[in-house]
Structure 1
Amino acid sequence: MVDPDASEWLKKQQRASRKTRLIVSTAGILVIAAVLAGVIYTLIHKGTTGGAVGSSDNGNDGNNAGKGANIPSNPDGPYYTNDGKPVSLSITPDPRLHKSFYGVNYGPILALYPWCTNTLGDTIEDLKILSQLTNRLRLYGMDCNMANYTLLAIELLKLNMTVVPTIWVDGNETTYTRQYNDFFNNLDQHGISRIEGVSVGNEALFRKQVTPSDLYSRIADVKSKIQAKYPNSKIPVFTSDIGSNVDQAFIAGTDVVFANVHPYFGGVPVSTGANWTFEFFHNFDSGPAAAAGKPAVISEIGWPTNGASDNASIASVDNLQTFLDTYVCVANQKQIKYYYFESFDTPWKAAYFTTLEGSWGLFNSDRSFKPNIQLPNCQVTAGGITSM
């Protein structure tokens, strides 16, 4: 095993963390991103290799294309993707897909604030695929109807799925207030039966955009308001951060230890990536959490297919296959709870940051299979987040 020294882990995360800039929130970024908007849109809609997955060729006519803010009052549609393709509510099982993942991280590709060109139809098409991989999704924010469309798609498709929404924390109080209010509006609209838990921020401590005491205060506030609105609910409230940031204060301030653990950023070869992950997670996260009587979940785990290497860690499609083969089914056998990172490649990250940043998807950005990838086929044995 490679010794997962916390300081080295932190250095690697500082060089290559994928999510430190997930939400575009500062004025400078908005200006630059506006220049890139045309490039991003082109990249997103450019065809890639691999067979199409879960695509729909039929549907009804209507006017739900475009911005994605208009939700049809008719529950039967019509629904359209951003590029005007009609969407049906039927799911055709794909024999290449297996419900082998405890959970999957889902960031709709076009849900980029403030443009928000995603539609409910796009989300429906995404969930036709993801529902054949898992019963659990984790989201990264509330903007652009991300949680609303996901919950609507689950309802419309009649899926047995739960969601972990995130109230994004980035140091901007306006962003937090907007997302905080949107989260509770979603509970009012959809209820709580499909909410597996709620994350207040992702890697906000790592980015040093909030103090620990402020973050734990926000977690307590969200938990208190949920309990006031739904007295009998047991929705856990927590945050997610890099695994080496878990300490006693983190454990005490959260209902669940939600830890991002990436062997790629540990600089290990893919052949030892799974074992490195299991040992790191136990030593830094699940072990200390269990000692305090708290459950622990790997909130991110994955392997990129393109981009720069990190010491012995090589980004490639072949290595993604190796990691899927060595991690997923073994984690299921060990009853480890994890959310795989991530659903689809994200071209806007590749265009704005690096190729590596946008290349963590199980699928290409157009929902097609990556070349020669075979998804694992095994049973998920762990229960929900709150079950020990």
Structure 2
Amino acid sequence: MSLSLGVWIGDNDFINNKQLNEMQKLLSEFPESYFNSIYIGNEVLFRKDKSIDELLSYINDTKLFLKKINKSNIPIGTSEIGSLINHKLIDNCDVIGANIHPFFGGEDVSKSINWTYDFLKYQIEPQLKKVRQKPKIIITEVGWPFKGGSFQKSVANFKSFQYFLNNFICEAYQKDYGWYYFEAFDEPWKKIFYEDSNSWETEWGVFNYDRSMKEKIQFPACN
């Protein structure tokens, strides 16, 4: 088993440097085979914490560090909201993580699987034609909220959650894209993002925040 090493990049340079130093410590201490990839930042551009050039400077510095310690085979990139992934970002990464949430596409859950892969096909794949190197594209966030309201035709409830869990995972096994399901556990701290009657930000986990299984949720059995 290997892992993807994530490095938090925000608007605080002191914290960013602590994160990067810890990354370097781990990469120096453990074998290269332990690391599937490295993601420098998650949704940095979406939050406007750093410019794309600032983010790329962190990525390129990490590439130099890996070369220095003879571990250059580890792919390096970032994960970002799918709509903000552009050719400049792609051209400087070995791997690109796309956070794609069909819930915010506003369609009924029955259309969510096709919506996800259409987004990749029509929004992200065309960017690959504009770059010198072809990085690996990974779906780094995809899921559906368990409860908390609705967004246009997208409804956050148990039925839709189970539908998406079943159908996305079984379909994903037939595709060439790697993916990470969003998410394992509920995150109560995200209630700070509640707006009006929309309280879904805390409710994306397959498990409750205390690590217990959500009531009635079943893992899919794919053929």
Same fold (TM over 0.5): yes
Distance in 1 separating the partners of 2:140 and 2:130: 19
- Percent identity between the aligned chains? 38
Distance in 1 separating the partners of 2:67 and 2:149: 45
Unpaired runs of 5+ residues, structure 2, are none
Distance in 2 separating the partners of 1:297 and 1:289: 13
Q: TM-score, normalised by structure 2?
A: 0.91
Match of residue 266 from structure 1: 105
What amino acid sits opposite 1:220 in the alignment?
A: N
Match of residue 137 from structure 2: 296
Distance in 2 separating the partners of 1:164 and 1:367: 22
Distance in 2 separating the partners of 1:223 and 1:377: 40
Alignment map for 1:146-161 (pairs within 5 Å): 161=1
Check 1:289–1:295 CA distance in 2 against 1; reply closer, same or farther (3 A cut).
farther
> What displacement does 1:190 show?
2.6
What amino acid sits opposite 2:49 in the alignment?
A: Q
- Structure with the bigger RCO (C-alpha within 8 Å, sep 6+) is 1
Distance in 1 separating the partners of 2:58 and 2:29: 22
Match of residue 358 from structure 1: 202
What amino acid sits opposite 1:243 in the alignment?
A: G
Match of residue 6 from structure 1: none
Match of residue 61 from structure 1: none
2:41 pairs, out of 183, 195, 201, with: 201
Task: Give the 3-state SS of the residue equivalent to 1:188 in structure 2.
Answer: helix
CA contact (8 A) 1:301 1:339 kept: yes
Distance in 2 separating the partners of 1:197 and 1:311: 36
Instruction: State the aligned residue count.
Output: 217
Deviations 1:140-195 (A, max 9, x none): xxxxxxxxxxxxxxxxxxxxx22112211111110110000011111233332211
Q: Which structure is higher in strand share?
A: 2
Q: Which structure is higher in helix share?
A: 2
Larger radius of gyration: 1
1:222 pairs, out of 62, 80, 93, with: 62
Alignment map for 1:164-203 (pairs within 5 Å): 164-203=4-43
Deviations 1:1-23 (A, max 9, x none): xxxxxxxxxxxxxxxxxxxxxxx
> What displacement does 1:263 show?
0.2
Match of residue 368 from structure 1: 212
Match of residue 330 from structure 1: 171
Distance in 2 separating the partners of 1:349 and 1:189: 33
Q: TM-score, normalised by structure 1?
A: 0.54
CA contact (8 A) 1:324 1:376 kept: yes
Deviations 1:294-344 (A, max 9, x none): 221111000011213111111111111100122111111122211111111
Alignment map for 1:1-388 (pairs within 5 Å): 161-231=1-71, 233-289=72-128, 292=131, 293-350=134-191, 352-354=192-194, 355-378=199-222
Check 1:306–1:258 CA distance in 2 against 1; reply closer, same or farther (3 A cut).
same
Distance in 2 separating the partners of 1:172 and 1:376: 41
Deviations 1:117-141 (A, max 9, x none): xxxxxxxxxxxxxxxxxxxxxxxxx
